[in-house]
Amino acid sequence: MSPASNAFGPGALAVTVVVASDRGDGRVVDVRVASTRPVGFSTALFVNRPADEIPALVGRLHALCGLSHATAGATAIAAARGGDWRATAAARFDGLVAERLGEHLRSIFLGPTARAAGDVPREALADLRAVLAATRQLAATGEPPIGAGARATAIESARNGMERLGLVLDGHGRPWWPSGSWADDVVRRAADAGGDVHLPADPLGPDDDAAVVAALAADPQGFAAVPRLGTRRPETGAFARSVLRTGGGAFGGRERLEARLGEIARAGRTLEAGAEARRREIDDWVSAGTLGADTGYAAVESPRGRLHHLVRLDAAGRVAAYAVLAPTEWNFGPDGPFAATVRANRVTADEIGRSRVERLAAVLDPCVGFAVTVEERADA
């Protein structure tokens, strides 16, 4: 199937998996990912606009992870101007942290390993709503910014709800899921979805920024649509960040889900930390630099992975060129981590097989909706 196209809409992914019908063992012979996500619209839409208009505009254009996009835009522009991009990132840091917490929680709650809303205890639903309401308040970017008292109240509400949901850190700062909690139930259900094969992650990280930005500058539309680093097809997102932080380990579906749950708990702890402790964390979330006079870039660790923005300003301070490379293009590229993972699995041409592909896609958490079709081919 082909999702409807909209130049400025969020787009969608259509996944087609072809299995060999003459084998009867679910062997995957082809994986096609058709995307209608708009790529290249940023140059057409942003060129000749005053640079100060871009952060708010790019944030509104991205329904999910809008604050990450707005921060990337503001930080890249600050770098292009030769300004203090860290100060720009610091002013938006609460929003980034709250967005990661809320986006992970929402997508996990709606994911294929979660219970249907009607089967979730009423108390857990109330806690979920309270936490999401608090993150929306903390992520608000209006003027004037949220006051200290309102911020403290929102953080307390988020903390209390997260504790009841089982999204907590132990005394050593490690996430754990108290028995019987909502988080424990989600992890157990993920573990029970046995048989799915997952591949080790080749994580996209800060050391890749120079190569990514150079390629994006050389071919903004082409590289943004299908990013590649030589023979590598890196994965980005919560699990990739976990691999970079810990050096690796187990890499199943449960571990990938736990990486996202762990980021929720850590985000809550970060929001509670003092101003100096938060400042020390900023470089783990945002980096920026220049490619010469009037050209700046930023990399932001959005909920779904490493996000890159590149901007060139003209002599009047208007946008001369702009490019955006989002995490979904890495994870769901034609031969990216998702396609490789599906090929490593056995997929039957029925509801069970389609559900498996949907779980594999949900683990990588695309920033748009997706539909899965499984086809048989006799001559495969």
User: Do 258 and 361 belong together in one domain?
Assistant: no
**Is 314 within the bounds of a domain?**
yes
Q: What is the full DSSP assignment across 117-149? A: GGGS-HHHHHHHHHHHHHHHHHH---SSPPPHH
The predicted pLDDT at position 143 comes to: 57
The predicted pLDDT at position 160 comes to: 97
State the Cα–Cα distance between residues 58 and 74, nearest whole angstrom: 10
**Is 335 within the bounds of a domain?**
no
User: Do 27 and 128 belong together in one domain?
Assistant: no
The predicted pLDDT at position 62 comes to: 85
**Is 223 within the bounds of a domain?**
yes
User: Do 11 and 153 belong together in one domain?
Assistant: no
The predicted pLDDT at position 63 comes to: 76
Q: How many CB atoms lie within 10 A of CB 4?
A: 8
User: Do 6 and 93 belong together in one domain?
Assistant: no
66 and 60 in contact (C-beta within 8 Å)?
yes
The predicted pLDDT at position 22 comes to: 73
State the Cα–Cα distance between residues 309 and 302, nearest whole angstrom: 12
The predicted pLDDT at position 3 comes to: 37
**Is 100 within the bounds of a domain?**
yes
The predicted pLDDT at position 331 comes to: 96
Token pair 């949907």: residue: 358
**Is 291 within the bounds of a domain?**
yes
Task: Provide the domain count of the chain.
Answer: 2
**Is 288 within the bounds of a domain?**
yes
Helices (H), 178-332: 182-192, 209-218, 220-225, 238-246, 253-272, 275-285, 327-331
pLDDT along the chain (380 residues), means of 10: 43 91 84 84 85 94 90 98 96 95 93 75 93 92 75 95 95 92 90 83 97 96 93 96 91 92 96 92 96 95 97 96 95 94 94 92 89 84
The predicted pLDDT at position 110 comes to: 84
User: Do 21 and 164 belong together in one domain?
Assistant: no
Q: State which H helix or E strand residue 33 sits in.
A: strand 28-35
State the Cα–Cα distance between residues 145 and 148, nearest whole angstrom: 9
Domain that holds residue 5: 1-37+344-380
User: Do 193 and 208 belong together in one domain?
Assistant: yes
Classify 317 in phi/psi space as left (phi over 0), alpha (psi -120 to 50) or beta: left
User: Do 231 and 308 belong together in one domain?
Assistant: yes
User: Do 24 and 43 belong together in one domain?
Assistant: no
User: Do 12 and 156 belong together in one domain?
Assistant: no
Q: Is 171 exposed, middle or buried (0-12, 13-18, 19+ CB in 10 A)?
A: exposed
User: Do 85 and 193 belong together in one domain?
Assistant: yes
User: Do 140 and 12 belong together in one domain?
Assistant: no
Q: What is the CATH number of the domain that holds 135?
A: 1.10.645.10
**Is 333 within the bounds of a domain?**
no
User: Do 130 and 244 belong together in one domain?
Assistant: yes
**Is 287 within the bounds of a domain?**
yes
CA 180 from chain center: how many Å? 28
